[in-house]
């Protein structure tokens, strides 16, 4: 079994919990509460900005141009393509995309980006890859599962969202990250493999937490101004 196959096996209950999450079930049924979608898009716009920052830091740790090219293509993909599913969600709730940008992150999303940035600043390239991988991998599995289950046609309000994540490009990104991490793991010590596993499992849990945060429209409980600054 490869290292990433072992990670996937260990994280299986979390992947299943994500697929069964009420927000994801709402995407399948085309009836997610609109407030939850609005909360999700606001947080996800900032989350993807942080994700690109982490890719940028990963580039600074690469020695090989092929690796640099991979991370820079991923930044390009987020900027130029991953806006499509956001536009689909914005059309669904009838709010312009621009109106949902620049908001401070709710606690669970704030935790997730700080977790990734921790590995970006303190970790090896392998630990960064492990922290990043659940982002495309969980969405790829959501997309594939919903395609199989729902077989949405163009009348489904979230057809484009589902198609986007079930598409070959997501598979491509996930496979490239997996191959990279598998080859890193071959030369890693037991201590580093444990750290990579920890980074991966926590990112999976934080993916679940992101859906939960959106569905429950999570906010900071005590709300003085300083507690809500974006801190990116
Ligand atoms: C929180 C989160 N995780 C993953 C993805 C898919 N790139 C996303 N858009 N947002």
- The residue among 38, 70, 36 whose CA lies nearest residue 55 is 70
CA distance 212 to 204: 13
Which of 213, 220, 223 lies closest to 36 in space, CA to CA? 213
Question: Nearest CA to 90 among 98, 80, 82, 81?
Answer: 98
Catalytic positions = 135, 207
Q: What pLDDT score does 231 carry?
A: 45
- Which residue, judged by its Cα, is nearest atom 4 of ligand 1? 135
Nearest alpha carbon to residue 129 among 61, 69, 209, 206: 61
C-beta of 106 in contact with ligand 1 (< 6 A): no
Rounded-to-integer distance, Cα 166 and Cα 163, Å:
5
What distance in Å separates the CA atoms of residue 120 and residue 123, rounded to the nearest whole number?
6
For the Cβ of 135 lying below 6 angstroms from any atom of ligand 1, the answer is yes
Which domains, and CATH codes, for the chain? Answer: 3-218 (1.20.910.10)
pLDDT at 228: 52
Return the ligand 1 atom nearest residue 206 CA. 1
Closest-CA residue, ligand 1 atom 5, reads 135
The DSSP secondary-structure symbol of 74 reads: H
pTM across the whole model: 0.95
Cα(211) to ligand 1 centroid in Å equals 10
What parts of the chain have a pLDDT lower than 70? 223-232
Q: How many CB atoms lie within 10 A of CB 67?
A: 16
């Amino acid at each position: 079994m490869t290292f990433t196959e072992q990670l996937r096996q260990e994280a299986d209950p979390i992947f299943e919990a994500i697929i069964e999450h009420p927000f994801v079930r709402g995407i399948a049924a085309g009836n997610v509460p609109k407030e939850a979608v609005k909360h999700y898009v606001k947080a996800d716009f900032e989350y993807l900005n942080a994700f690109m920052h982490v890719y940028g830091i990963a580039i600074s740790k690469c020695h090989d141009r092929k690796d640099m090219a991979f991370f820079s293509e991923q930044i390009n993909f987020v900027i130029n393509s991953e806006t499509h599913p956001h536009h689909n969600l914005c059309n669904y709730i009838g709010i312009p995309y621009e109106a949902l940008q620049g908001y401070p992150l709710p606690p669970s999303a704030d935790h997730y980006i700080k977790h990734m940035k921790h590995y970006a600043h303190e970790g090896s390239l392998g630990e960064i890859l492990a922290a990043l991988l659940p982002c495309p991998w969980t969405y790829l599995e959501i997309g594939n599962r919903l395609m199989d289950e729902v077989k949405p046609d163009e009348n489904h309000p979230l057809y484009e969202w589902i198609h986007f994540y079930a598409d070959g490009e997501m598979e491509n990104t996930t496979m490239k990250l997996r191959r990279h991490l598998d080859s890193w793991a071959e030369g890693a010590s037991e201590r580093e493999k444990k750290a990579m596993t920890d980074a991966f499992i926590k990112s999976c849990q934080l993916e679940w937490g992101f859906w939960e945060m959106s569905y429950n429209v999570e906010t900071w409980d005590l709300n003085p101004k300083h507690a809500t600054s974006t801190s990116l």
